[in-house]
Structure 1
Amino acid sequence: MKDTFARPSYRLALAATCAALAACGAREPAEPPPRPAPTVEVRPDALAAAWSAPGVIAAPESTPLSFRQAGLILRRHAGLGDAVRAGQVLAELDPGPWRQNLESARAEHRAAREALDVAERQWRRDQAQGREGLIAQAQAEQTRGQLAQARARYEQAGQALAHARDQMAYTRLVAGHDGVIIAEQASAGQNVAAGQPVYTLAWGDGLEAVVDLHARRVADVEPGRMAEVEPVALPGVRLSARVREVARAADPANLGFRVKLRLDAAVPALRLGMTATVRFRAPESAGARYTLPTTALFHQGDRPAVWVVDAKGALALRAVEVAAYGADTVTVSAGLEPGQVVLAQGAHTVSEGQRVEAVPYRPRAAAPGGDGR
């Protein structure tokens, strides 16, 4: 045995074997292959709509129409939805009481006219006799006073006659503008008070959309902001609009702030009173926005972030700004660029620098019988 160990060849073989074993022990374990990870490509939202609200199609102006005096509605000449012209008679009161007043005023006016004629003739005679000294100066003064009274009575009678004519004319309710009747508040045979609405007339050039916004929403709306109006009864029809007016006070009935939007153009099928969805577009200064699955969001301390996959498949955490949260989506307004690839799921199961194999993200389908939301 000593001779065997002493041989040079044996010692060289043993040394080579030990070196090989040492090299095997120092070799690092092989890197695991990249794990498949669902990802999405960052793309700007196609529709720059920040949020939407229910609205109704309306005319720029609406006016309640009422009689200027009380009375019994004898007949109506217009109904809900009718298009009317300016000056058209819409309803009439029973003219009986006002006709009697008019006849009395006319009789009083005729009597005052005759009394004035008599006073004027008497004054002319007294003037002529006074110049010749045939009557006393006091009698002439008395005649002049009677003439003044007759003139005053005649003027009063004329004003009373004009008032009676106006009252007679006020028994007819007349449209002040071309427009459409959008409400009826009284019917034939009903006694109405002066100023009590009988109709509501919508009028003005073009059409508008009207919405009532919550205080948290109206703070972001100002005249000139663009929006899109989609009538519920006309699927697929989308009309551009611009905010025309924003109420400075809330409606006590619903605590909403009324916003009126002017439609740039209308379609023939559009009608007053149709409901619509009004989508307010984000201001141009807001920049691009990107909608991602909620599962892509990761929180780095107090700040939201997402995992971005680089060209080599390595993960890097990027802080982002969230503009809005949806039911299963999140809208990012800053921190990302178009074309970047973002981890869509499993944000809390990975680490910085980890390599992944990007696979398309497919949202989980709704459970059978669900509403799909």
Structure 2
Amino acid sequence: MSGQAAEKSGGALSRYLVVSTLVVTGVVLSACGREDAKAPPAPVRPVRTVTVASQPPAPALGFTGHIEAQDRVDLSFRIGGRMAERHAGVGATVREGDVVARLDPENELNDLRAARAALASAEGLRREADGQYQRQSQLLARNVATRADFEAAEQARLSARSQVTAAQARVASAEDIVGFTTLRADAPGVVTRVGAEPGEVVAPGRMIIQLARRDGRDAVFEAPADVVRSLHLDDAATVMLAGQAGVTAHGRVREISPQADPVTRTFTVRVGLSDPSPAFRLGAAVTARIGGDGKAAIHIPATALTQRGSGKDLETGVWVVDPAAQTVSLRKVEVLASDPATAHIGKGLNPGDVVITAGANVLREGQQVRLGGAETR
């Protein structure tokens, strides 16, 4: 009895130790879980900021230039030859379809005559092959001709028809080449340059006349690099005719040259005119005022911009500081233009906003910051 009691007492003690171990382990794991669930707070980041201030409206920029055609085209022959006549000179007004020049067409006409003669011969052979095919077909039906003779007549008929098709294609090509000896205007306009005189032998593609089409006028200006940075596509412009007060036209910047002129080191700016009067003749001197729409601009350092996402989901924003809580939030902005130093903001910021300019790459939403330096823009 004493041995059995000791054995039972030892078993109970073992079970007690196991249960106690499991309880202690559970308590420890529960405490670790609570510690892991409670993430450490984000550190307070030192940052530099700028306080947004509304800038005065940018003044309009003045330029001096001249009028050019919005669309110019060089008319040339597709084939070479001796130019027999030219019907339009510099300053001439032409309509769409008007003949402006001709080449001597004798060689091309000879090629056309030869092609037509070859077509006539091919059609004769086709008629002969058709007749032979019909005869062999009738003889074969009466069991007079052999199958081999009939198949030979059928093959000759197919060959003759193919020769007619090829001859017709050569005639069409020769007719096109004869047509290429006549140069026509593809649109109404004014001749601004000529490149060849009657009697000259011209190569294919050589400019015969330069035509300024009537469907648009451009005011063209040359601007230095520091001024071009202030211009943007679609900027409004008012163009005035030099020497004639009150003669104005309105337009917008439609092209800014991406490369400077190798001699003058200036950039070409083209303003498309929307309502030019007849007084704005090609080459006329003009002055223009570009920009200055009266809208206040907001400029911030380019280092304040932050981009998130990629592709179509790419968004540009800035970190804005809540002065009361000293926390940050990412705000989406519309960037009108930017350079390595400054970004021009259209929408998203208001005067008085505090924007982070240094240290933005390590921030996250709602994080507390310590303002290390501030300035006003």
Same fold (TM over 0.5): yes
Which of 147, 162, 172 is residue 172 of structure 2 equivalent to?
162
When residues 286 and 113 of structure 1 are mapped into structure 2, their CA distance, relative to the original with a 3 A threshold, is same
Whole-Å Cα distance in 2 between the matches of residues 251 and 158 of structure 1? 53
Which of 128, 141, 146 is residue 138 of structure 2 equivalent to?
128
Question: Does residue 137 of the first structure (1) align with residue 115 of the second (2)?
Answer: no
Contact 2:190 2:214 (C-alpha < 8 Å) held by counterparts: no
Q: Structure 1 length as normaliser, TM-score?
A: 0.60
Whole-Å Cα distance in 2 between the matches of residues 206 and 153 of structure 1? 51
Shifted more, 250-259 versus 59-68: the winner is: 250-259
Alignment of 1:338-353 (within 5 A): none
Whole-Å Cα distance in 1 between the matches of residues 296 and 249 of structure 2? 22
When residues 257 and 151 of structure 1 are mapped into structure 2, their CA distance, relative to the original with a 3 A threshold, is farther
Give, as a single letter, the amino acid of the residue that structure 1 aligns with 2:133. W
Count of residue pairs the alignment pairs up: 242
Name the structure 1 match of 2:292.
Answer: 282
* Deviation string, structure 1 residues 312-359 (Cα, Å, up to 9, x no partner): xxxxxxxxxxxxxxxxxxxxxxxxxxxxxxxxxxxxxxxxxxxxxxxx
When residues 158 and 249 of structure 1 are mapped into structure 2, their CA distance, relative to the original with a 3 A threshold, is farther
When residues 157 and 207 of structure 1 are mapped into structure 2, their CA distance, relative to the original with a 3 A threshold, is same
Whole-Å Cα distance in 1 between the matches of residues 141 and 259 of structure 2? 76
Question: Does residue 84 of the first structure (1) align with residue 94 of the second (2)?
Answer: yes
Question: Does residue 242 of the first structure (1) align with residue 252 of the second (2)?
Answer: yes
Question: Does residue 59 of the first structure (1) align with residue 76 of the second (2)?
Answer: no
SS at match of 1:158: helix
Question: Does residue 69 of the first structure (1) align with residue 108 of the second (2)?
Answer: no
Runs of 4+ in 1 over 4 A off after TM superposition: 248-256
Question: Does residue 110 of the first structure (1) align with residue 120 of the second (2)?
Answer: yes
Name the structure 2 match of 1:153.
Answer: 163
Whole-Å Cα distance in 2 between the matches of residues 257 and 134 of structure 1? 89
Which of 102, 109, 116 is residue 99 of structure 1 equivalent to?
109
Name the structure 1 match of 2:202.
Answer: 192
When residues 69 and 250 of structure 1 are mapped into structure 2, their CA distance, relative to the original with a 3 A threshold, is farther
Larger Cα Rg: Structure 1 or Structure 2?
A: 1
Q: CA deviation at 1:228?
A: 2.4
Which of 137, 158, 173 is residue 183 of structure 2 equivalent to?
173
* Deviation string, structure 1 residues 188-217 (Cα, Å, up to 9, x no partner): 111111111111111142422122433333
Q: CA deviation at 1:169?
A: 0.6
Name the structure 2 match of 1:210.
Answer: 220
Give, as a single letter, the amino acid of the residue that structure 2 aligns with 1:55. G
Name the structure 1 match of 2:231.
Answer: 221
SS at match of 1:284: coil
SS at match of 2:186: coil
Whole-Å Cα distance in 2 between the matches of residues 252 and 72 of structure 1? 37
Whole-Å Cα distance in 2 between the matches of residues 102 and 254 of structure 1? 53
Name the structure 1 match of 2:19.
Answer: none
Q: Structure 2 length as normaliser, TM-score?
A: 0.59
Whole-Å Cα distance in 1 between the matches of residues 134 and 262 of structure 2? 70
SS at match of 2:209: strand
Contact 2:71 2:216 (C-alpha < 8 Å) held by counterparts: no
Name the structure 1 match of 2:275.
Answer: 265
SS at match of 1:145: helix
SS at match of 1:285: coil
Contact 2:126 2:157 (C-alpha < 8 Å) held by counterparts: yes
Contact 1:233 1:274 (C-alpha < 8 Å) held by counterparts: no
RMSD: 2.5
When residues 255 and 71 of structure 1 are mapped into structure 2, their CA distance, relative to the original with a 3 A threshold, is farther
When residues 134 and 117 of structure 1 are mapped into structure 2, their CA distance, relative to the original with a 3 A threshold, is same
Q: CA deviation at 1:156?
A: 0.9
Of all paired residues, the percent bearing the same amino acid is 33
Whole-Å Cα distance in 2 between the matches of residues 161 and 88 of structure 1? 26
Contact 1:72 1:93 (C-alpha < 8 Å) held by counterparts: yes
Which 5+ residue runs of structure 1 have no aligned equivalent? 1-44, 288-373
Alignment of 1:15-30 (within 5 A): none
Q: CA deviation at 1:52?
A: 2.6
Which 5+ residue runs of structure 2 have no aligned equivalent? 1-55, 298-377
* Deviation string, structure 1 residues 92-127 (Cα, Å, up to 9, x no partner): 001111111111111111111111111111111111
